[in-house]
Amino acid sequence: MALSLCSLRFLIFIFLVSAIPVAYIISVERAKPPTHVFHYHSAGFFRECAKWDDQGSRFLVSFLEGGVGAIHVPEDDSPDLVLNEVTVVKDFDLTGNASLGITVDRPRNRLLVVVADLLGNRYSALVAYDLSTWKRLFLAQLSGPSKYNHLSFANYKLV
Ligand SMILES: *[C@@H]1O[C@H](CO)[C@@H](O)[C@H](O)[C@H]1NC(C)=O
């Protein structure tokens, strides 16, 4: 028996095949997660990397559009609490570049950030900021039009 593409059976088959995964996704999304989930308001749409800063009791996140944000978690954090992201780093001279991997270097009280021109691959740098004042401590250019002829792209998986 041939199955026609317009037959009722085929339409029911397509409905079931697509409804089951959608129903599963909805049930997973609505289920109470087994671990604590933090909800926060953000001005951006995509955060590349997030690290927990124990001493500051905050998450630090890097912005794909460039910059770094801090999300402070109060001690009395309840599951319904919605936290706020505060922009702590926005370097105008790096505008157009993405902030990628970050790592908290507590012994030196600094945050290391890989900055790169994601689309054009014409620039990348490692930048360090003071974790208390957010002043830039150094910027080491890794690649750019004048250096290494665009050959390297910063490895954003900082350990
Ligand atoms: C990234 O930053 C560098 C250094 O300031 C700048 O020269 C370059 O134009 C920026 N990249 C983009 C895509 O804007």
pLDDT at position 51: 95
pLDDT at position 154: 56
One domain, residues 67 and 84: yes
How far does the centroid of ligand 1 lie from the alpha carbon of residue 97, in Å?
Answer: 6
One domain, residues 18 and 57: no
Q: Does 94 sit in the ligand 1 pocket, CB within 6 Å?
A: yes
Give the largest CA-CA distance in the chain: 74
How far does the centroid of ligand 1 lie from the alpha carbon of residue 100, in Å?
Answer: 15
- The rounded percent of the chain whose pLDDT value lies above 70 is 89
Give 81-114 pLDDT, tens digit per residue.
Answer: 899 999 999 999 999 999 999 999 999 999 999 9
Q: What's the order of all strands across the beta sheet hosting 39-41?
A: 39-41, 82-89, 68-72, 58-63, 47-53
One domain, residues 125 and 48: yes
Average pLDDT over residues 137-149: 78
Residue 49: CB atoms within 10 Å? 20
Give 24-83 pLDDT, tens digit per residue.
Answer: 988 888 888 778 888 889 988 889 999 999 999 999 999 999 999 999 999 887 777 899
- The domain in which residue 47 lies consists of 39-141
How far does the centroid of ligand 1 lie from the alpha carbon of residue 115, in Å?
Answer: 10
d(CA 72, CA 40): 10
Q: What's the order of all strands across the beta sheet hosting 136-143?
A: 98-105, 110-116, 124-130, 136-143
Domain assignment present for residue 65? The answer is yes
In the numeric block, the tokens 């009395």 are attached to: 76
Rg (CA), the chain: 22
Domain assignment present for residue 67? The answer is yes
One domain, residues 26 and 46: no
Number of domains in the chain: 2
For residue 86 the two structure tokens come to 């505060």
One domain, residues 74 and 103: yes
Determine the 3-state secondary structure of 65 from DSSP: coil
- The answer, as to whether pTM is greater than 0.85, is no
| Best residue among 94, 139, 143, 150 to mutate for probing ligand 1, ranked by most atoms within 8 Å of CB | 94
Host H or E run for residue 100:
strand 98-105
